[in-house]
Amino acid sequence: MAEPTETPQNSEPKIKVALITGITGQDGSYLTEFLLSKGYEIHGLIRRSSNFNTQRINHIYIDPHNANKARMKLHYADLTDASSLRRWIDTIAPDEVYNLAAQSHVAVSFEIPDYTADVVATGTLRLLEAVRSHIAETGRTHIKYYQAGSSEMFGSTPPPQAEDTPFHPRSPYAVAKCAAHWYTVNYREAYGIFACNGILFNHESPRRGENFVTRKITRAVGRIKIGLQSKLFLGNLQASRDWGFAGDYVEAMWMMLQQEKPDDYVVATEESHSVEEFLEAAFGYVGLNWRDHVVIDKRYFRPSEVDNLKGDASKAKKVLGWKPKVGFQQLVKMMVDEDVETAKREKVLVDAGYMDAQQQP
């Protein structure tokens, strides 16, 4: 169970309440599962969309009318709408706030830079201000805030990258994340808010979005293995990243907010692998040669590349007692296994005539 918050004498310990932005994303779904296992009550903020995008949390969703069992509730809000953020902060009165929402695709941020900055940078400021105003009016000074940072903030700064490594962002997304980082530091120092930055290096899983390179690769491996696809189009194969498992990293988020003092932490595996190495591991796992299927397409090269990200997580290990449980090879196999099964289900639809197998070359 979650640690009890302050309650009047002779009353039952109060269950901790967490507010999560970006709850429908990869990290949001894993964090929700983790906090539910700790006994938390979860409130997630979601954007209104014509299509439901809750597939990552459908397996843990319980209709709110089932009040005795529904410990996760969803509310409409947006980081671009300050009034909705303040309203839900006041209504929910959370003990912990996790800001995971973002336009998080680096390449896409070059296409929609204004929107990326509005959501990632200014959206963080709006949420921090909502928390500050709530604390000022209610006196609930025990509220703790987690800000999702990114290794992309380091950009062209050579590895290994630690908490005191200078930032040199190389994309609109990374620049916006730097602003969010410093907004969080500023509100911690100016207003005494318990606010932490988690500088998480790349973290993947079977729930990763299909337009991120790791999932794009494993998705293609599954389809190629089953016979639904023959080619995979990629950009820079020499880019190296520190890839970990998202399920491990959300535990570090929670650990940061359980400390006596707020601080900033790098979360990483401390290993770096190139996209080519990921290809070797993923295709090799199912007995395929990636060179027979991968085609380089210049459209996937970024205007400014980030060559190598490799984290130094010694502070998180020492202070939080955190360390990754899933290694690189295990992560790749986990993702490939899931996507092979997905491709098998897809093939059933193709064979029955419900889907066109030629949608991709």
Distance between CA atoms of residues 270 and 313, nearest Å: 7
Q: What are phi and psi of 312, to 5 degrees?
A: -110, 100
Q: Which helix (H) or strand (E) holds 280?
A: helix 275-285
Residue 173 is among the residues annotated as catalytic for this protein: yes
Q: Annotated catalytic residue: which of 150, 151, 240, 272?
A: 150
Residue 98 is among the residues annotated as catalytic for this protein: no
Reading the block at residue 52, the tokens are 């439901």
Which DSSP letter does residue 308 get? B
Reading the block at residue 166, the tokens are 């200078």
Reading the block at residue 355, the tokens are 């889907």
Distance between CA atoms of residues 44 and 78, nearest Å: 11
Q: Which helix (H) or strand (E) holds 333?
A: helix 328-351
Q: Annotated catalytic residue: which of 29, 30, 96, 152?
A: 152
Distance between CA atoms of residues 225 and 228, nearest Å: 8
How big is the chain, counted in residues?
361
CB atoms within 10 A of CB 116: 26
Q: Are 163 and 266 in contact (CB under 8 A)?
A: yes
Reading the block at residue 250, the tokens are 């959300």
Which DSSP letter does residue 316 get? I
Which DSSP letter does residue 37 get? H
Distance between CA atoms of residues 270 and 200, nearest Å: 11
In sign, the C-alpha dihedral spanning 92, 96, 98, 99 is positive
What does each C-alpha distance from 31 to 101, 267, 347 come to in angstroms?
A: 13, 15, 32
Residue 230 is among the residues annotated as catalytic for this protein: no
Q: Annotated catalytic residue: which of 30, 40, 98, 173?
A: 173
In this structure, are strands 232-234 and 294-296 parallel, antiparallel, or unpaired?
Answer: parallel
Q: Indicate which residues carry an active-site annotation.
A: 150, 152, 173
